[in-house]
Amino acid sequence: MKTSRTKAEDRVPRRWRTPPPLTRGSESLEGMEILREVGGEVGILLWQAYRNVMFWSTTDAGERGQLFAPDAGTRRRAEIAEARVPERLAAALESVAAMLEAPEATSGDRVAQACTDVAQWAEDEGHMNTGLAYAQAAAVASPGRARLALAVGQLARRRAELARAETWFRHTIMIGRQTGDWDSYSRAYIALGNMLISRGNFPGAHRMHIKALRAARRKGMPEIQGMALHDLFVIAVETSRDEQAEEYARQAFRAYGPSHVSVPALAHDVAYFWMQRGYFGRALEVFQALEPHLSSPRERLVLLSNAARAAAGTGNRETFRKAWTQVFRLAKDPELQAVVPNSLMELALGAASLSEWDRAEQAATESLELATRAGHAKVRFRAEALLDSVRNGRTAQANVAVKPSAKADALATEMVRSLVDAPVTAGV
């Protein structure tokens, strides 16, 4: 006899589980990097506090009352008073001392806040190992907060500890799903996707960003929708899906809104895409609208070199030569050498499109030398190919004839309008 139970009622809820995140890197002793990085009395105090927090966090709540000696908190306060502790650290270290006094009554959130404060101080001081250790301690002390787990993954990724970063991002996804922290959940998927982009795994990256996008749409998070769509645009460009790339760009712009801080970065990426496809006039218009939004010499160098190539593609020699002079002046800055090889390559391509062969050879030669020295293989190959073309007959690939796109023209117009109207608060 059939019952009235539905299949949904019979289904057992699925519990998501991931392996425990990595909490150790290459260090031989847990927290040893704190001693090496900070040093002195403050380094010792931070190392001791870190070990105390990790010991407390990994002990069952019912057994914490017996962890520390009765006078541990008093002794720690005396050590803090004797040391030259930076003002920003004093309250955090006092919180750990309070934990030593009453370990069974101290909340995980209070301990996590103290660790987060130390992590922020360490980041600001350039102590990235210490920052990572304390961000991790915060996440372990308050294990149900996805935002704290996400912070660990982000710091680990910045330190190129990619295996550790991936485990913490996946841990964030699990916690975010269980607790309803869809912001952290989505950001973790975006972070995983970007790691896959860097490895060239575009299908995997696409899946991660689609998951983030779907969650952001379901939960009404337009900023994260914009982030996911922006990265999906990048993936589509890298996989030569031009029509899909433009559609993702349009959707990202709509999701961000015209005044969002990320619009200049999106506009720059889209303009570069257009330039690569031969839409030089459209790209130049956007590049020129971006100029007031620059906030660093590096951004200015990148933008000027791209604008120079776009101007050359339209046949505008005056604008190209003006940008040429500015790029070579900025290229002398030792702080900008990471982007100089590619910037000079863009100049070389622009000069070639104008048949200014001496300039093309000069820029390509310098680009090749710098790219070889820095190990930038992709730029080196581009420079070698252009030099072969110029030296063996002074020919280069002609500007590509492209069919105008009304939708893309409309997007360019909207982007330019938003950049002109928006306050100057962001860079590329």
Low-confidence winner among 18-32, 135-149, 360-374 (lowest mean pLDDT): 18-32
Q: Is residue 5 part of a domain?
A: no
Does 418 score more than 80 pLDDT? yes
Q: Can you tell me the mean pLDDT for 217-224?
A: 98
End-to-end distance of the chain based on CA atoms, in angstroms? 67
Does 18 score more than 90 pLDDT? no
Regarding whether 123 and 99 lie in a shared domain, the answer is yes
Regarding whether 203 and 161 lie in a shared domain, the answer is yes
CATH code at 308? 1.25.40.10
Regarding whether 281 and 247 lie in a shared domain, the answer is no
Supply the mean pLDDT for the chain.
Answer: 92
Q: Is residue 12 part of a domain?
A: no
pLDDT recorded at residue 28: 59
In terms of residue numbers, what domain contains 193? 156-253
> Measuring CA to CA, which residue among 379, 392, 395 is closest to residue 347?
379
pLDDT recorded at residue 31: 85
pLDDT recorded at residue 365: 97
Reported as a pLDDT band with limits 50, 70 and 90, residue 256 is: very high
Q: Is residue 305 part of a domain?
A: yes
In 357-415, beta strands by DSSP E: none
Q: Is residue 428 part of a domain?
A: no
pLDDT recorded at residue 26: 63
pLDDT recorded at residue 6: 46
Q: How far apart are CA 246 and CA 111, in angstroms?
A: 47
Regarding whether 295 and 225 lie in a shared domain, the answer is no
Regarding whether 281 and 213 lie in a shared domain, the answer is no
Q: Is residue 315 part of a domain?
A: yes
For residue range 45-78, what is the model confidence (pLDDT) as tens digits? 999 999 999 999 999 999 999 999 999 999 999 9
Residue 59 and residue 141 in contact, taking contact as beta carbons nearer than 8 Å: no
Regarding whether 120 and 246 lie in a shared domain, the answer is no
Q: How far apart are CA 34 and CA 48, in angstroms?
A: 10
Residue 368 and residue 352 in contact, taking contact as beta carbons nearer than 8 Å: no
CA max distance for the chain: 89
Regarding whether 361 and 263 lie in a shared domain, the answer is yes
For the chain, give the percent of residues with pLDDT over 70. Answer: 91
Regarding whether 338 and 241 lie in a shared domain, the answer is no
How many C-beta atoms lie closer than 10 Å to residue 79's C-beta? 16
Q: Can you tell me the mean pLDDT for 203-220?
A: 98
Q: Is residue 1 part of a domain?
A: no
Q: Can you tell me the mean pLDDT for 282-308?
A: 95
Q: How far apart are CA 150 and CA 225, in angstroms?
A: 18
Residue 147 and residue 182 in contact, taking contact as beta carbons nearer than 8 Å: no
Regarding whether 377 and 245 lie in a shared domain, the answer is no
Q: Can you tell me the mean pLDDT for 79-95?
A: 95
For residue range 100-123, what is the model confidence (pLDDT) as tens digits? 999 999 999 999 999 999 999 999
Regarding whether 404 and 301 lie in a shared domain, the answer is yes
Domain-terminating residue out of 84, 116, 143: 143
Domain-terminating residue out of 192, 226, 253: 253
Total structural domains within the chain: 3
> Quick one: how far is CA 403 from the chain centroid?
35
Q: Is residue 3 part of a domain?
A: no
Q: DSSP letters along 237-303, please? A: HHTT-HHHHHHHHHHHHHHH-TT-TTHHHHHHHHHHHHHHTT-HHHHHHHHHHHGGG--SHHHHHHH
Q: Is residue 151 part of a domain?
A: no
How many C-beta atoms lie closer than 10 Å to residue 117's C-beta? 18
Regarding whether 300 and 245 lie in a shared domain, the answer is no
Domain-terminating residue out of 221, 253, 285: 253
Regarding whether 334 and 187 lie in a shared domain, the answer is no
